[in-house]
Amino acid sequence: MKDLAEKHIVLGLSGGIACYKSAELCRLLIKAGASVQVVMTQAAEQFMTPVTMQALSQRPVYGSQWDTRAANNMAHINLTREADLCLMAPASADLIAKLAHGQADDLLSLMCLARPADRVPLLIAPAMNREMWQHPATQRNVAQVQADGALVLGVGHGDQACGETGDGRMLEPLELLDEVIAFFQPKLLTGQHLLVTAGPTYEAIDPVRGITNLSSGKMGFAIARAARESGATVTLVAGPVSLPTPRGVHRVNVQSARDMLAAVTAHEPQASVFIATSAVADWRPASASAAKIKKEGSGQPPELQFVENPDILASLAQSERGKSRALYCVGFAAESHDLLVNAQAKRQRKGVPLLVGNIGPDTFGQDDNSLLLVDEVGTRELSRDSKLALARKLIAEIAQRLAVGASA
Ligand code: CTP
């Protein structure tokens, strides 16, 4: 099932150069399963034609409160009655000012005011020059629309069409799509702070060589995204992987197991849940050479000595907070065989309430996986699905266990 299946979104465009991004946003929303009704201000039509938006949305675009196409001549009422969400992208300084004051002198502002606010949420993606954005009048208006219940999605930072650099760019279409998808996810972990490790670690032998584990980091990144979608604050400690940071997630990049332990230890006191998906290298070279180890034609490989790395999960699970479950610890087990037996044994050994097993070679680098959840009560299989879908199911499983723990 697509992320926005059966969702009807009213996409409002007000005047700004960012309108060019809204064409792509419209396409992405539809690709994700939504139906999209576009409403444009006259100013928006200076930047993007209704023809383009009609072709992309496959629906006539509305732009005037005097539009006679609606039988009752009340486009401002009709447009939102079937909507699941109104998204203003771009929302100009002028539109936000109108919304803040309840002005309704064009179709878009009139429609926002006339929408059933209790069941049709309003999301706002501001777009404007940096001076306009930081002006006290704009910030006052933003605070007011938030107080009135709108969700303001924030702005991007960078080069602006006017040639200046700063805050005020509209978020990119993919970022807005992720925000809309996140908006519809159940807020199961509001108030929780999740700390997630992901990816492999890299243990240097010398400045050009090292040992590592097979891990793309995709499962851990999907869990970080799903946790944020469910309302949690998320810190993601990532080994060397080239994956984009999920929106709204605080990422800390590390290399070695010891770096990972240091980052986890620094963030653990704020966390209420720790999910260790990282494929931590079990051993590291006893001493990394500062200079490249040369072959020098001797025919003799270097003698490498290894020492064991700290077990990050076990040390947190066996800490005071871990044992009392003030920090709820979730481990992963990447096995090659005998998943159930190995996962049960690993859960005991690590001392975690929940362990998630998977067959490593079946999933490394892929976009899907299947999971076996093992806890003190029994086991549960999450059948093969995309990593994001599995991550959302796992978050729901964790939320359920936290709720039981809290009421116990
Ligand atoms: N883990 C960890 N620190 C380590 C090793 C593992 O935090 N030094 C965590 C992993 O992130 C995972 C769990 O422990 O959540 C199990 O990792 P795995 O590699 O499957 O198990 P190992 O403890 O390494 O045991 P074995 O190699 O014997 O299977």
- Can you give the pLDDT of all 408 residues of the chain as single tens digits? 899 999 999 999 999 999 999 999 999 999 999 999 999 999 999 999 999 999 999 999 999 999 998 889 899 999 999 999 999 999 999 999 999 999 999 999 999 999 999 999 999 999 999 999 999 999 999 999 999 999 999 999 999 888 989 999 999 999 999 999 999 999 999 999 999 999 999 999 999 999 999 889 999 999 999 999 999 999 999 999 999 999 999 999 999 999 999 999 999 999 999 999 999 999 999 999 999 998 888 888 889 999 999 999 999 999 999 999 999 999 999 898 899 999 999 999 999 999 999 987 888 778 899 999 999 999 999 999 999 999 999 999 999 999 988 887
282 lines ligand 1 (CB under 6 A): yes
Listed residues 154, 184, 214: the one ending a domain = 184
CATH of the domain at 138: 3.40.50.1950
In this structure, are 117 and 213 located in the same domain?
no
In this structure, are 249 and 346 located in the same domain?
yes
Q: How many CA atoms lie within 13 A of 184 on its CB side?
A: 22
The predicted structure's pLDDT at residue 83: 97
The predicted structure's pLDDT at residue 104: 96
Q: Examine residue 180 and state whether it is found in any structural domain, yes or no.
A: yes
Q: Examine residue 280 and state whether it is found in any structural domain, yes or no.
A: yes
Long-range contacts of 376-383 (CB under 8 A, 24+ apart): 379/340, 379/344
In this structure, are 237 and 101 located in the same domain?
no
Q: Examine residue 295 and state whether it is found in any structural domain, yes or no.
A: no
Q: Examine residue 151 and state whether it is found in any structural domain, yes or no.
A: yes
Cβ–Cβ contacts within 10 Å for residue 335, how many? 17
Ligand 1 atom having least distance to the Cα of 257: 8
In this structure, are 83 and 124 located in the same domain?
yes
In this structure, are 92 and 233 located in the same domain?
no
* Active-site residue flag, 26: no
In this structure, are 200 and 327 located in the same domain?
yes
Ligand 1 atom having least distance to the Cα of 331: 15
Listed residues 127, 157, 184: the one ending a domain = 184
Q: Examine residue 2 and state whether it is found in any structural domain, yes or no.
A: no
- Max alpha carbon distance in the chain (Å)? 90
In this structure, are 57 and 166 located in the same domain?
yes
Q: pLDDT per residue over 82-118, tens digit each? A: 999 999 999 999 999 999 999 999 999 999 999 999 9
278/262 Cα distance (integer angstroms): 14
In this structure, are 69 and 210 located in the same domain?
no
Q: How many CA atoms lie within 13 A of 209 on its CB side?
A: 13
Q: Which of 306, 313, 337 to mutate to test the pocket of ligand 1 (most atoms within 8 A of CB)?
A: 313
Give the contacts of 334 (CB within 8 A, at least 6 positions apart): 215, 279, 358, 359, 360
Q: Examine residue 225 and state whether it is found in any structural domain, yes or no.
A: yes
CATH of the domain at 275: 3.40.50.10300
Listed residues 184, 208, 231: the one ending a domain = 184
355 lines ligand 1 (CB under 6 A): no
Q: Examine residue 294 and state whether it is found in any structural domain, yes or no.
A: no
In this structure, are 177 and 250 located in the same domain?
no
Ligand 1 atom having least distance to the Cα of 282: 8
Domain that holds residue 180: 8-184
Three-class secondary structure of residue 364 per DSSP: coil
In this structure, are 200 and 173 located in the same domain?
no
Q: Examine residue 1 and state whether it is found in any structural domain, yes or no.
A: no
In this structure, are 166 and 17 located in the same domain?
yes
Distance 35 CA to ligand 1 centre (A): 44
Q: pLDDT per residue over 342-365, tens digit each? A: 999 999 999 999 999 998 788 877
Counted domains in the chain: 2
